[in-house]
Amino acid sequence: MTGATIIEKLLTRASDKDTVEPGDIVVAPVDVAVLLDTQFFGPSWEGLRRVHDPERLAIVLDHAVPAPGVREAAAGTRARKFAQRFGVRRFLDIGRHGIVHQVIAERGWAVPGQVLACSDSHTCAAGAFNVAARGLGAAEMMQIVSTGSTWYQVPPTIRYDLEGRLAADVTGKDVFLHIAGAYGDALNHALEIGGPGLADLSISDRHTIAAQGAELGADFTVFPADERCLKYLAERTTAEPSPVSEDAAARYAVRRTVDLDVVEPMLARPGAVIDNTVPVRGVGQVRLDQCFIGSCANGKIADLEIAARILAGRTVAAGTRLIITPASQATYLEASRRGYLSTFVEAGAVVTNPTCGACFGYHLGVVGPGEVCLTASTRNFRGRMGSPDAEIYMASPATAAASAIAGRIIDPRELA
């Protein structure tokens, strides 16, 4: 008897088939489609004649907000007109906004069993909630908004079984960097993360790992919907979850175990994460011009909490900048209530408005030629955060905060 993996089950159900195999092409209705400000940079959406179902649609302004220039301001105007014209109720304009993957999580827009579509490559983040979610590009979003469905190729699945429990100051980011360094890419595969260690892994850590599947080239990153997941969602939505689990006889391309007990603070060296990560403690002297904590992967309240704990009563080193971008207005507000924003500013950090901003080198923290940056965000490609002549290292918020204080890359446990 053969069995199915989580993504195979999600795509089987969505496409109304009896069974699917890796390599099959299926056509599936999309339950939730989310548009971004970047889609409205050009005028082409103005020509859309109809929308398949405005109740399945949401619009979130996140990449370049508030508008740093006229082009982005015009995009905002187009998005507002579009939302009004087609009666899109879930429209998060500037002031109610956040990075799309964060607002999907915190508002319970992704419910186990669903198919979710968004242009952005980190859409796989919603897989933390047992959802078939992947980045599709803006052109394909126009098709989904018009017709309500799209096609998927069923990917083979790579399974990670987590065991044990993470140590203090070690987070989901370190798990991802560990996997990227130890096992390399997952190009055109689904990642499935489960195992006995999952129960102790926070939703925040799961969401970070799911988002970062994109850096390994994974189509989807999916988690089972355990009690912790269902409880998190029940606090946010009344939508009924229809979780799927992997079969005992599920067939995997590869199955590996990760012992969380031994994962330590990890660092990606500049240029890539795949086959390019090392433990922070062995890195040696790397002086830093800028540290950044933010993005869909690392701008969550749990990330800000750990940064605030490390920064409390300390100051950012002279010659180093620390920029912190909460992932959403809700995160920003919660950080304010908890006093984190004061802690950050007292330490000499800059806190920006929620946006994708510095993560993709667009605004609010672009790096210059010859600079060295340590980022707790999503990518460290050459040129990603600005100048192609800057070096971008990547690590967890704990490592970024500790390193900002030291002015060089350090293991956060050195400060304890």
H helix runs in 135-273, sequence order: 138-147, 172-183, 203-212, 227-234
Binding site for other proteins (CB under 8 A): 25, 27, 38, 41, 44, 47-50, 69, 71, 119-121, 134-140, 142-143, 146-147, 151, 153, 155, 185, 187-188, 214-215, 217, 219, 272, 274, 360-362, 366, 379, 381-386, 388
Instruction: Report whether 396 contacts 377 (CB < 8 A).
Output: no
**Residue number, 197 or 386, with CB nearest to other proteins:** 386
Other beta carbons within 10 Å of 226? 16
Residue with tokens 């970070």: 208
Least distance to other proteins from the beta carbon of 140, Å? 5
Least distance to other proteins from the beta carbon of 192, Å? 17
Least distance to other proteins from the beta carbon of 350, Å? 19
Burial of 54 (0-12, 13-18, 19+ CB in 10 A): middle
**Residue number, 155 or 397, with CB nearest to other proteins:** 155
The whole-angstrom separation of Cα 294 and Cα 283 is: 23
Instruction: Return the ∠ at Cα 45 (arms to 41 and 48), rounded to 5°.
Output: 175
**Residue number, 124 or 306, with CB nearest to other proteins:** 124
**Residue number, 106 or 215, with CB nearest to other proteins:** 215
Least distance to other proteins from the beta carbon of 391, Å? 12
Verify cis geometry, omega within 30 degrees of 0, for the bond prior to 196: no
Least distance to other proteins from the beta carbon of 268, Å? 14
The whole-angstrom separation of Cα 66 and Cα 361 is: 15
**Residue number, 121 or 399, with CB nearest to other proteins:** 121
**Residue number, 252 or 381, with CB nearest to other proteins:** 381
The whole-angstrom separation of Cα 307 and Cα 298 is: 11
Least distance to other proteins from the beta carbon of 380, Å? 10
